Amino acid sequence: MKTMNNDNEKELRKYEVGFLFLEEKNAIVKQLLEKHHFSIVKEGEPFKFNLAYPIKKVQSVFFNFIQFLAEPLKIEEFFKDLKKEDSILRFILLNLPLKEEAPKKGMGLKTFNRPSLSKKEGKKSFEPILTNEALEKKIEEILK
């Protein structure tokens, strides 16, 4: 997707930022996106969960993600601004394809059908258990 701005041709790319933050009503990432004039495409709902290990002595945090369009040259400045924010514990910035791709066929999990056993096939006849004497005789026969 290309757009004309100030007679210069600039290419927009789609990005997604996923982040862990302390407060449920944290809008700092949205403010940073607006500051850099990025357009928001999709935003998730924040949800709270407990961490497997503490980060900066914090055990439970909120997670959210935002997809947006931005110029690649401005992303580095946005990245630096995210690093400066104390209320954001961790974040990841992903470069996404502009158009949604359909899942490829044949990439799902394969399931196999087990052959069913009939009642007659399921029961096997068992040989009688041999005594020690019988085992010794068989061993002697084999060794001869």
pLDDT digits (tens, 9 = 90+) for 53-112: 998 899 999 999 999 999 999 999 999 999 999 889 999 999 998 776 666 665 556 666
83 belongs to a structural domain: yes
Give the residue, 144 or 41, on which the prediction is more confident: 41
- 141 occurs within a structural domain: no
Give residue 72's domain range. 2-96
Give the closest residue to 95 by CA, choosing from 113, 114, 78: 78
Q: Is residue 142 part of a domain?
A: no
Cβ within 8 Å of residue 74, ≥6 positions away: 36, 37, 38
Q: Write down the pTM of the prediction.
A: 0.61
Predicted pLDDT at 24: 76
Q: Please name the residues in contact with 16: beta carbons below 8 A apart, sequence gap of 6 or more.
A: 65, 66, 67, 68, 93, 94, 96
Whether 65 maps to a domain, the answer reads: yes
In a domain, 124, yes or no: no
19-56 pLDDT per residue, tens: 999 887 778 999 999 999 999 999 999 999 999 999 88
Q: How far is Cα of residue 23 from the mean position of the Cα atoms in its chain? A: 23
> Does residue 139 lie in a domain region?
no
User: Could you give the number of structural domains in the chain?
Assistant: 1
Please check whether residue 54 lies inside any domain of the structure. Answer: yes
Q: Which two tokens stand for residue 113?
A: 């059908």
Helix locations, 11-131, DSSP H: 28-35, 72-84, 119-122
Please report which residue ranges of the chain form alpha helices under DSSP H: 28-35, 72-84, 119-122, 132-143
At residue 140, what is the residue type?
A: E
| In-domain check, residue 43 | yes
| Spatial distance between the Cα atoms of 79 and 96, rounded to a whole number of angstroms | 16
Model pLDDT, residue 2: 46
Q: Which CATH number belongs to the domain containing residue 16 in this structure?
A: 3.30.70.60
Asked whether residue 13 carries a pLDDT value surpassing 60, the answer given is yes
